[in-house]
C-alpha cells in the first residue's frame, strides 16, 4: 500500500480533482499527503541587471513566497476540514520538474497524483510538460487525474471502479501489474486485461474480422496469455476480466475500448523516452495520455529490459504478482 503521496499544486484551482483523489486514497491506505508547490524563479532573473533591479527582484520573490505559503496553508486547512488524512505542505523554488523529482526521491514518495485537463497549445506546454517530465524522469507511479466535467463544475468520481490494463506480452507492460493491483484493492475495482492484436498480413489488414480463420492462432495465444495473468491477479482477491481487440493503431484501440466499457482509469507502463527516441519510436502511453479523456496510472520501470514479443503462455512474469 501507499505511505507517502505527493500532489503538485500550482494555486490555480485546476489541481482540486487530484487533491480529492489523493485524499481518498490516503484515507484508505493510511498514507501521508504532501501538497507541494514550486515557484519558478526564472521570470525574476531579468530584473537583476542592476543593484536596484536585484533589490526589486528580491522583494518580488519574497512577496510571491509569502502569498504562495498563505495559499498552501489555506488549502491544507480546507483539506483537513473534509479528510482525516495526514496532510503537510511544502514550498520550493526552481525548475518545476527538477524540484518535484528531487522532492519525491528525498521524501520516499510512492505515488504522485497530478491533475491535467487535456489542453492543447500553450496551456498544454505549460501544464502538461510537468506531468510528462515526472513520468519520464521518475520511477514512481504517476496517477494523472482527468476530471470528467469542466472547471466551472468540477467533479471527480468516488472511486476508480473499472481499470483497463493493456498488456502485449512484454516484460515492460507487465511492470504495471503490482502497481495496479495495489490501487485496485484500495478502490475495490475490477481490472480488465486488454490485448490489442495488430494485423500482420495483407489479408489481416484488409479484413479485421476476428471470426476469420487466420486470426485463430493469434487470438488463442493472446487468450492463453491473458488468462494466466488474470489467474494470478484473482488469487490476490481482485475481480479480473480479459478482452482482445484488433486494430492497427494501438493507442486508439485502447482509448476506444476504455470508452466503450465506461472505464474510469487506464493503467500502463512506459519506457518514458524523451528527445529524438520519443520522436522516432513514439510511445503508446504518451499517445493514450494525450488522446484519451480518462485518468491514467503511468509507471516507468527502473532499467527495464526492452523486449518486443507477441503474447504467449510462457511469458507471464510470475515474480511480479504475489502468488
Residue at 157 is within a domain: no
pTM: predicted TM-score of the whole model, two decimal places = 0.83
Residue span of the structural domain in which 295 resides: 162-315
Same domain, 103 and 206: no
CA dihedral (127, 130, 136, 139) positive or negative: negative
| Residue among 257, 191, 199, 201 nearest 226 (CA) | 191
- Mean pLDDT within 257-283: 74
- What are 44-100's pLDDT values in tens digits? 445 455 555 555 556 767 788 889 999 999 999 999 999 999 999 999 998 999 999
Q: Please tell me the predicted confidence (pLDDT) of residue 23.
A: 96
| Residue among 146, 143, 230, 130 nearest 179 (CA) | 143
Last residue of a domain, one of 87, 111, 145: 145
The answer to whether 32 touches 217, Cβ cutoff 8 Å, is no
SS (H, E, C) 5-67: EEEECCCCCCCHHHHHHHHHHHHHHCCEEEEEEEECHHHHHHHHHCHHHHHHHHHHHHHHHHH
Same domain, 128 and 221: no
Average pLDDT of the chain, as a whole number: 81
Residue at 297 is within a domain: yes
Place of cell 501507499: 2
Q: Please tell me the predicted confidence (pLDDT) of residue 185.
A: 95
Which DSSP symbol is given to 134?
H
Count structural domains, the chain: 2
Same domain, 184 and 282: yes
Last residue of a domain, one of 95, 114, 145: 145
Q: Please tell me the predicted confidence (pLDDT) of residue 243.
A: 96
The answer to whether 97 touches 127, Cβ cutoff 8 Å, is no
| Residue among 82, 92, 84 nearest 35 (CA) | 92
Amino acid at each position: 500500500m501507499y505511505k507517502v503521496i505527493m500532489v503538485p499544486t500550482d494555486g490555480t484551482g485546476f489541481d482540486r480533482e487530484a487533491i480529492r483523489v489523493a485524499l481518498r486514497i490516503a484515507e484508505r491506505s493510511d498514507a501521508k499527503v504532501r501538497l507541494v508547490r514550486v515557484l519558478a524563479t526564472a521570470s525574476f532573473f531579468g530584473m537583476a541587471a542592476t543593484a536596484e533591479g536585484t533589490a526589486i527582484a528580491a522583494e518580488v520573490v519574497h512577496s510571491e513566497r509569502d502569498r504562495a505559503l498563505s495559499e498552501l496553508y489555506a488549502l491544507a486547512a480546507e483539506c483537513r476540514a473534509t479528510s482525516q488524512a495526514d496532510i503537510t505542505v511544502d514550498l520550493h523554488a526552481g525548475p518545476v520538474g527538477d524540484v518535484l523529482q528531487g522532492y519525491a526521491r528525498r521524501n520516499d514518495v510512492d505515488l504522485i497524483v497530478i491533475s491535467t485537463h487535456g489542453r492543447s497549445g500553450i496551456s498544454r506546454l505549460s501544464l502538461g510538460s510537468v506531468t510528462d517530465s515526472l513520468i519520464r524522469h521518475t520511477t514512481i507511479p504517476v496517477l494523472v487525474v482527468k476530471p470528467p466535467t469542466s472547471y466551472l463544475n468540477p467533479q471527480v468520481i468516488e472511486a476508480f471502479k473499472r481499470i483497463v490494463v493493456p498488456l502485449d506480452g512484454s516484460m515492460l507492460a507487465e511492470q504495471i501489474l503490482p502497481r495496479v493491483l495495489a490501487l485496485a484493492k484500495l478502490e475495490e475495482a475490477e481490472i480488465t486485461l486488454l490485448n490489442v492484436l495488430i494485423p500482420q498480413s495483407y489479408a489481416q489488414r484488409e479484413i479485421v474480422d476476428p471470426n476469420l480463420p487466420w486470426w485463430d492462432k493469434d487470438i488463442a495465444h493472446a487468450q492463453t496469455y491473458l488468462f494466466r495473468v488474470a489467474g494470478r491477479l484473482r488469487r490476490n482477491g481482485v475481480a479480473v476480466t480479459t478482452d482482445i481487440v484488433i486494430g492497427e493503431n494501438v493507442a486508439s484501440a485502447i482509448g476506444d475500448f476504455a470508452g466503450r466499457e465506461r472505464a474510469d482509469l487506464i493503467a500502463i507502463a512506459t519506457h518514458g523516452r524523451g528527445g529524438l527516441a520519443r520522436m522516432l519510436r513514439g510511445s503508446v502511453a504518451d499517445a493514450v495520455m494525450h488522446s484519451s479523456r480518462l485518468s491514467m496510472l503511468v509507471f516507468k520501470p527502473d532499467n527495464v529490459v526492452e523486449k518486443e514479443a507477441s503474447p504467449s503462455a510462457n511469458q507471464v512474469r510470475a515474480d511480479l504478482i504475489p502468488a
